[in-house]
A and B are shown apart, each in its own frame.
Chain A
Amino acid sequence: MLIRLESVSKTYPMGVQTITALRDVNLNIEEGAFIAIAGPSGSGKSTLLNIVGLIDQPTSGRLLIDDREVSGRSPDDLAELRARSIGFVFQTFNLLPVLTAEENVEYPLLQFRELKAKERRERVAHFLEVVKLQAHAKHRPNQLSGGQRQRVAIARALATQPRVVLADEPTANLDHRTGSRILRLMRRINRRNGTTFIFSTHDPRVLEIADRRIDLDDGAIARLGVRAGETWSYACERGPRDVAQVIESK
């Protein structure tokens, strides 16, 4: 199992109140999956993605990657794990504004001392080709369209050859056509390379191409769906109340 969450909860202090963003989440994510995390705003999608992406810590519960627990590891260990195993695609692209497209793709690779400059350049060129942006390699983010920026962000996420790419609302800031292209591109990469993709999304198009879905509601998993042709087959991981929901959905 690539990623496993066991009874993961996350709470935030807000003034005198405590906000529960995730409650008792149990989840198994297999290698090569293409997963959409769906749910209304505030349901905990981003928090779940952040915890899986090791940029946030659960308040309780365990997170395991390759069956090894990562909770409690030092910040430097987590950074190393992020660098080598996880790629991020942000809703707002988050490219470094002073770097060109190719430099943005190269930037996370600079952490890998073992990678020679020639190999690094080849890898950057390859992933720019994958996202069809070779012609824009020398352009800075402000010289690129939204779709092009998101493709640079995808190339950057893929360049480290991570096990899992986390995409937080990747189509939210793109027009319909560009969003569809970006999704098809990620699906193609998933099928070709076996890279695991996990999206948090409101976009029904993401749900259309995902092969698994996790529906969150009020910080808890409401239902887990596995694609069955054009529809979903739901399984429940939350006890009697959720069983009722699953049956109702069906």
Chain B
Amino acid sequence: MLLAIAVRNLVRQRTRALLTLASVGIGVVSLILAAGFIDDILFQLREATIHSQLGHFEVFAPGYVDAGRREPLAHTLADSRAAIAAMRAIPGVATVAPRLSFSGLLSNGRADATVIIEGIDPGAEAAIGTAMTTIAGKSLEAASGPAVVVGEGVARSLKLRIGGTVTVLASTREGALNTMDAPLAGIFRSPFKDYDERAVRIKLRDAQDLVASDSVNSLAALLRPGASVDDAVSAAKRALPPDRYDIRPWWALADFYQGTASLYRRQFMVLLTIVATMVLLGVANSVNMSLHERQAEFGTVRALGYGAGAVFRQIIVESAVLGAAAALLGIVLGVMLAWAISAIGIDMPPPPNSDIGYQAAIRVSFSNIALAAAIGVFAAVIGALLPARRLSRMPIVAALRHAV
């Protein structure tokens, strides 16, 4: 009967209940939209990170991540062919891309620039790098023979033209200077501006010839859709001995993503606190007014033999029912709005460290819906706690005095 009375009281005090319903419902809708928007931003950043540089996980020679960027040729994988075979055998792995990266110079004959030269397998890299676009010329995969593709920033700083010959200079491990002349096949743009300002890509074989090495210093793995990164990393760790291979998931290598995600999560927490506080105050105010009108009713209930606890429970159950109804309403409205906004799309300016704007959406996820609903119900219940406590402890005679 407690629940029936709660529901009937809410129906009876329709206007008051609708006000509370709106206050909690709007809170739930805003949380679903805000959380979904942030999720989409992070999802797109994650996809851009994975599909431009990192893949889902990478395998390095021990020490490469911490010190190898200064001496990349001293930290190459011992047996890359065996490692590639072992990685391809891991369930969920779609592509393995070997890379040999080192610093060098790129010259146009008149000027040169310090660059990061990446020797890549164009076919494997095309599968991983779906977030990279060729903005002029063609991709390395489409080029026959030795060729060079450069990031947009490199092309701009050296005023490079498609088809023109460029010279790539690098030191071998032994210290000898070596050069490679090749036509500029294409210019690419990735989601990360600083990468585009220093990246030069050539075919892996050409890179190995340039530095007189037949090895690679990293293997990037791309997983099939739905495959678990954690599972694949665990399988890779089992398959490749840790003393010879350092295996890292993409997020352990994505400092920019981590920083951005942390910033957005904090912003969301602040928003969540603000929304929860607003809902709480709204509910407390509405419950207070409603209970003030019903003091005599609760005085009667206690005169009939019910204790203060029963009155307290009654008020809390009413608020919880109202919070649950509002959360349900908020979920329906929030999801519908999220779908509608996503269908239209939100035009976003280029994020920091990027020249590419994008279209954001509102991602609808169970965890966000559950969180928003829980906050709604929680705020409704918390908002009722103080009024419920005050009223349940009110002297019965004082409460009955409010009877009309």
Taking Cβ atoms with an 8 Å cutoff, the residues of A that contact B are: 50, 53, 55-56, 75-76, 79-80, 82-84, 86, 88, 90-92, 94, 96-99, 103, 107-108, 110-111, 156, 160
Contact = CB atoms under 8 A, between A and B. Distances in A.
B358 interface: no
B304 to A, nearest CB: 4
Contact of A90 (B8, B301, B302, B400): B400
B302 A80 contact: no
A56 B296 CA distance: 15
A88 B395 contact: no
Contacts of B396: 55-56
B361 interface: no
B305 A79 contact: yes
Contacts of A103: 1
A233 B201 CA distance: 118
A111 B297 CA distance: 17
Contacts of A94: 296-297, 299-300, 303, 400, 403
A90 B400 CA distance: 10
B300 A99 contact: no
B157 interface: no
Range for the number of chain B residues in contact with chain A: 20 to 34
A126 B304 CA distance: 19
A55 B9 CA distance: 25
Interface of B: 1, 5, 8-9, 11-12, 296-297, 299-309, 395-397, 400, 403-404
A111 B300 contact: no
State the 9 A-B residue pairs at the shortest beta-carbon distance, nearest first. A83-B305, A98-B8, A55-B396, A94-B300, A79-B307, A92-B403, A108-B304, A82-B305, A56-B397
A88 B307 CA distance: 16
17 contacts: A55-B400, A56-B395, A56-B397, A76-B309, A79-B307, A88-B303, A90-B400, A90-B403, A94-B400, A96-B297, A97-B12, A98-B12, A99-B8, A103-B1, A108-B306, A111-B306, A160-B305
A107 B304 contact: yes
Contacts, number: 70
Contacts of B306: 79, 83, 108, 111
B302 A55 contact: yes
Given A83-B304, A94-B299, A107-B304, 10 more contacts: A53-B303, A55-B303, A56-B397, A76-B307, A79-B302, A84-B305, A94-B303, A96-B297, A98-B11, A156-B304
B12, B300, B304, B306: most-surrounded residue (chain A CB, <10 A): B304
A83 B397 CA distance: 16
A98 B297 CA distance: 11
A137 to B, nearest CB: 16
A98 B4 CA distance: 9
B1 A82 contact: no
A225 to B, nearest CB: 27
